[in-house]
Amino acid sequence: MKLNHVIESQQFKVPRIMDLFDRANFMKKVVARGGSLDYHSKIMASLYYAPATRTRFSFEAAMMRLGGHVLSTEQAQEFSSAIEGERLEDTIRIVGNYCDVIVLRHSEEGGAKRAAKVSSVPIINAGDGSGGQHPTQALLDLYTIHNECHTIDGLSVAFIGALDNGRTARSLAYLLSKFERIKIYFIAPDEMQMKPDILEHLDEHNINYELANSTEGILENIDVLYMTRIDRERLVSKKINLDTYNIDKNVLRKLKKDAIILHPLPRSIEIAPEVDKDPRAAYFRQAQNGLYVRMALLSMLFDDE
Amino acid sequence: MKLNHVIESQQFKVPRIMDLFDRANFMKKVVARGGSLDYHSKIMASLYYAPATRTRFSFEAAMMRLGGHVLSTEQAQEFSSAIEGERLEDTIRIVGNYCDVIVLRHSEEGGAKRAAKVSSVPIINAGDGSGGQHPTQALLDLYTIHNECHTIDGLSVAFIGALDNGRTARSLAYLLSKFERIKIYFIAPDEMQMKPDILEHLDEHNINYELANSTEGILENIDVLYMTRIDRERLVSKKINLDTYNIDKNVLRKLKKDAIILHPLPRSIEIAPEVDKDPRAAYFRQAQNGLYVRMALLSMLFDDE
Amino acid sequence: MKLNHVIESQQFKVPRIMDLFDRANFMKKVVARGGSLDYHSKIMASLYYAPATRTRFSFEAAMMRLGGHVLSTEQAQEFSSAIEGERLEDTIRIVGNYCDVIVLRHSEEGGAKRAAKVSSVPIINAGDGSGGQHPTQALLDLYTIHNECHTIDGLSVAFIGALDNGRTARSLAYLLSKFERIKIYFIAPDEMQMKPDILEHLDEHNINYELANSTEGILENIDVLYMTRIDRERLVSKKINLDTYNIDKNVLRKLKKDAIILHPLPRSIEIAPEVDKDPRAAYFRQAQNGLYVRMALLSMLFDDE
């Protein structure tokens, strides 16, 4: 079936995911030999209702490496703030005239879905609201796991951080639920624990998971440690020990020799700089993979036309 | 004669307008077959003293569909605010070194004219001040009328809204005055009626026009209904009935079967969403035409060099 | 030796400078014949922690004239402000995945050096802090002097303005110290005089220089008058006569017939508009040279890979 809009990670089935990863491997080779591809007549519009420069650059570089062009704004809120009642739907209808794909970072959950309903060109959700999704991040996370661990089935994955508003952890959990013999640990203070909708989804897919307040007894068993941002202020206000959800040399000592550490970046205080030199620290490789996965995804959208 | 700067709509004579529309038709075909043109070495600079993302995207997409490159800023006011006494003229002289054409949205009436005086490359006025002009909008409006009604001569056109600071209505009125047997209705509250300079211009060109406070008795007679934004606050503060200058199903019923509804967009409350599905609602096609007309205009500037 | 990062002007030796100028002359010819070069697969990232649109456009146009692509943000401070503890080093590591060269305007002195330490791609310093450097400005200044005066050795150069926080004057002074029989005048109020680190550097390189509070007796002897911005407020608050550090017709009368006037632009009140028409006013030609020198520099970085 034709790939059209990219709205939420659960829309991807395993064969499509594996196709995408094959394409991403090809894109990696194209970039390595300093090449670019032949999508010269294609235009991508970057619509960011709030700045998210890393994600934006990753998408825009992907489009440029494909040979295409980019329309870009970090001030898309101007579309709506200046005019009373101006609607996202109108903006999408207009911008769709000027491009072949729209990458949308919207401030409200469900923004991408609303956009897709009226759009004449594919919409890629680049994050919608703090409780929404960020499916391309989840795809690049999974691609990194696949590349580094050479499998996805059978892995144990721990998510650490403020998981209640962790868009990336939510999106990746959906994707993991499509694979076999996965074990997931959600490690967070109770008040920041993963929300019930995801847990119910995992139950429905018979995914084995555990909730925990600390990494004790877990670090030794996992293959993937997925760190997410945690706000110092929020921890302090709840009188929670800052060290519980951070990683440093001591954590590294307990971690399996072939485990990997991921982080969607930017990080705050949750990963000490001393961790960067450890070969298991995969988060900068993960950021790099964003380029290949987004090139693959964009090319899929264009080729399927 | 060489087309150089594009400052105000009255500078265009009918034969040039028809040339431009022929080119725009050609551009429409180029875009439809997913092509791009061969202006690879050309650079357009987008200088916006205030964000106007729809207009900016329309111009930038036009440049990219031509194969060219775009320098872009939505913060051109930074050129002048940071430095005491920094002048628009200096900015234009400098930026002219870096590009082949400058698209300027300036905050003051006459800004584009001042820029054109010192510029080494063509200036395109993309709006200067609320009482200024927006000639490329008028050209795409007229192109849409020509495309949809298959003629311009002999048409009846009604403008509705806050016409006193309606840059687009002003610019289109100038263009219409170049054609034969035109009838224009200006429908607005007295305090927001079209300004005398335009009315005098129409008198000089023997254009038949009427001023009115409501659409009563007019809707049945017109070929083009040109809606412009009207500020709810402003109406409320004057105790004017909001419905008088809005259109909805009831208005549609009175409108001729082959009339068209235009709006420069973004709209506020003046067109109900229910109108969108009516085939006479031409405003999204109008936005799309912006791409073709701007491609045509840019290519004219480059080819004439 | 391979050219890698471009951090400070003193890193350039005379043979490299002359190579660069030859390349810039070639680039000037490419642009004059409306051509572009074959760096289609290259991407430059523009990271501006504060807007500096002229400099940004100059670099981005250079990249586009080379045929390459540009990722751009004027809001790079968003990288660090939103996230507690997000570090420049992380940003550079991530952005380096998406491009072939990073042009960095940072707010702190030493920012470019810090970036270069961790970057996987070349860093070009486009200004770091008010007491930092702006080496590509100095290179284009020197290129302009070389083009206009046909030599650098033996020239007398006067710098006028608030030299204590004049990044461009500092960077150019470093470059001049590499040439023979140079004489430099620093003309500023005592409290805004050139800082001791530059004077010591000139002493070490046996460069003849003088400090002065006015242009009296100097104008008649110099080949290059390098004006820099001077803040009216700052002069007024110190009760300094505004005219002492400005140039107008009276100054022009005293200046040698073949002297040239430079200014990094934008200017404030220090050069009267009447000066622009004088053939010795070289500051707009200087801005244009920025394009050629930056094209030359970027191509050097790419070719040396």
Q: Which of B34, B57, B74 sits opposite A98 (nearest CB)?
A: B57
Inform me whether the C-beta atom of residue B15 falls under 8 Å from chain A C-beta atoms.
no
A9-134+290-303 is classed CATH 3.30.43.10: no
Q: Which of A34, A54, A232 sits opposite C94 (nearest CB)?
A: A54
Other CB atoms closer than 10 Å to residue B91's CB: what's the count? Answer: 23
Question: Within the 76-95 window of chain B, which residues sit less than 8 Å (CB to CB) from chain C?
Answer: 76, 78-79, 83-86, 90-91, 93-95
CB contact under 8 A, B229 and A83: yes
Interatomic CA distance for residues A249 and C301, integer angstroms: 38
Q: In chain B, pLDDT over 90 holds for what percent of residues?
A: 79
Inform me whether the C-beta atom of residue B57 falls under 8 Å from chain A C-beta atoms.
yes
Averaged confidence pLDDT in chain B: 93
Residue ranges of chain C with per-residue pLDDT less than 70: 79-86, 304-305
Average pLDDT over residues A164-175: 92
Inform me whether the C-beta atom of residue A294 falls under 8 Å from chain C C-beta atoms.
no
**Which residue is associated with the tokens 């017109």?**
B222
B interface mutation test: which of A77, A93, A95, A97 has the most B CBs within 10 A?
A97
The tens digit of pLDDT for each residue in A219-248 reads: 999 999 999 988 778 888 888 887 888 899
pLDDT exceeds 80 at position B78: no
CB contact under 8 A, B83 and C229: yes
Domain with CATH 3.40.50.1370 in chain B: 9-134+290-303, 135-286
Task: Give the pLDDT score at C136.
Answer: 97
Q: Which of A61, A72, A232 sits opposite C43 (nearest CB)?
A: A61
Q: In chain A, pLDDT over 90 holds for what percent of residues?
A: 79
Task: Give the pLDDT score at A76.
Answer: 83
Which residues of chain A lie closer than 8 angstroms to C66, CB-CB? none
The tens digit of pLDDT for each residue in A263-281 reads: 999 888 899 999 999 999 9
List the chains bordering chain B where 3 or more Cβ pairs fall under 8 Å.
Answer: A, C
CB contact under 8 A, C60 and B79: no
Inter-residue long-range contacts of A117-123, CB under 8 Å, 24+ positions, other chains counted: A117/A89, A118/A89, A118/A92, A118/A93, A119/A5, A119/A92, A119/A93, A120/A93, A120/A96, A121/A96, A122/A3, A122/A4, A122/A5, A122/A6, A122/A301, A123/A5, A123/A6, A123/A7, A123/A92
Task: Give the pLDDT score at A230.
Answer: 82
Question: Within the 187-226 window of chain C, which residues sit less than 8 Å (CB to CB) from chain B?
Answer: none
Q: For chain B, give me the number of helices (H) and strands (E)?
A: 11, 9
B interface mutation test: which of C28, C46, C53, C263 has the most B CBs within 10 A?
C53
pLDDT exceeds 70 at position A83: no
Average pLDDT over residues A181-208: 96
Which residues of chain C lie closer than 8 angstroms to A275, CB-CB? none
Task: Give the pLDDT score at C262.
Answer: 98
CB contact under 8 A, B266 and A79: yes
Inform me whether the C-beta atom of residue B64 falls under 8 Å from chain A C-beta atoms.
yes
The tens digit of pLDDT for each residue in B198-233 reads: 999 999 999 999 999 999 999 999 999 999 988 778
CB contact under 8 A, B95 and C291: no
The tens digit of pLDDT for each residue in B44-63 reads: 999 999 888 999 999 999 99
Nearest chain A residue to B33 by CA distance is A41
The tens digit of pLDDT for each residue in B168-203 reads: 999 999 999 999 999 999 999 999 999 999 999 999
Task: Give the pLDDT score at B132.
Answer: 81
A interface mutation test: which of C36, C38, C39, C41 has the most A CBs within 10 A?
C41
**Which residue is associated with the tokens 């104008």?**
C219
A interface mutation test: which of C49, C71, C121, C304 has the most A CBs within 10 A?
C71
Tell me the count of A-C CB pairs closer than 8 A: 74
Which residues of chain B lie closer than 8 angstroms to C284, CB-CB? 93-94, 97
CATH code: domain C135-286 is: 3.40.50.1370
The tens digit of pLDDT for each residue in A117-161 reads: 999 999 999 998 877 889 999 999 999 999 999 999 999 999 999
Q: Which of A76, A78, A98 sits opposite B291 (nearest CB)?
A: A98
CB contact under 8 A, A41 and B35: yes
Inform me whether the C-beta atom of residue A51 falls under 8 Å from chain B C-beta atoms.
no
Task: Name the pTM for this structure.
Answer: 0.95
Compute the nearest-CA separation of B65 from chain A (Å). Answer: 7
The answer to whether C270 touches C192, Cβ cutoff 8 Å, is no
Inform me whether the C-beta atom of residue C133 falls under 8 Å from chain A C-beta atoms.
no
Inform me whether the C-beta atom of residue B29 falls under 8 Å from chain A C-beta atoms.
no
Q: Which of C41, C71, C91 sits opposite A60 (nearest CB)?
A: C71
Which residues of chain B lie closer than 8 angstroms to C56, CB-CB? 73
- What 3 state SS string does chain C have? CCCCCECCHHHCCHHHHHHHHHHHHHHHHHHHCCCCCCCCCCEEEEEECCCCHHHHHHHHHHHHHCCCEEEEECCCHHHHHCCCCCCHHHHHHHHHHHCCEEEEEECCCCHHHHHHHHCCCCEEEEEECCCCCCHHHHHHHHHHHHHHHCCCCCCEEEEECCHHHCHHHHHHHHHHCCCCCCEEEEECCHHHCCCHHHHHHHHHCCCEEEEECCCCCCHHHCCEEEECCCCHHHHHHCCCCHHHHCECHHHHHHCCCCCEEECCCCCCCCECHHHHHCCCECHHHHHHHHHHHHHHHHHHHHHCC
- What 3 state SS string does A11-76 have? HCCHHHHHHHHHHHHHHHHHHHCCCCCCCCCCEEEEEECCCCHHHHHHHHHHHHHCCCEEEEECCC
CB contact under 8 A, A53 and C78: yes
Task: Give the pLDDT score at A297.
Answer: 98
Nearest chain A residue to C67 by CA distance is A67
Average pLDDT over residues A5-28: 97
Nearest chain C residue to A56 by CA distance is C71
C interface mutation test: which of A57, A65, A137 has the most C CBs within 10 A?
A57
Inform me whether the C-beta atom of residue C274 falls under 8 Å from chain B C-beta atoms.
no
Compute the nearest-CA separation of A49 from chain B (Å). Answer: 12
Q: Which of A82, A87, A99 sits opposite B61 (nearest CB)?
A: A99
Task: Give the pLDDT score at B228.
Answer: 93
Compute the nearest-CA separation of A40 from chain B (Å). Answer: 8
Task: Give the pLDDT score at C58.
Answer: 98
Task: Give the pLDDT score at C77.
Answer: 79
CB contact under 8 A, C73 and A53: yes
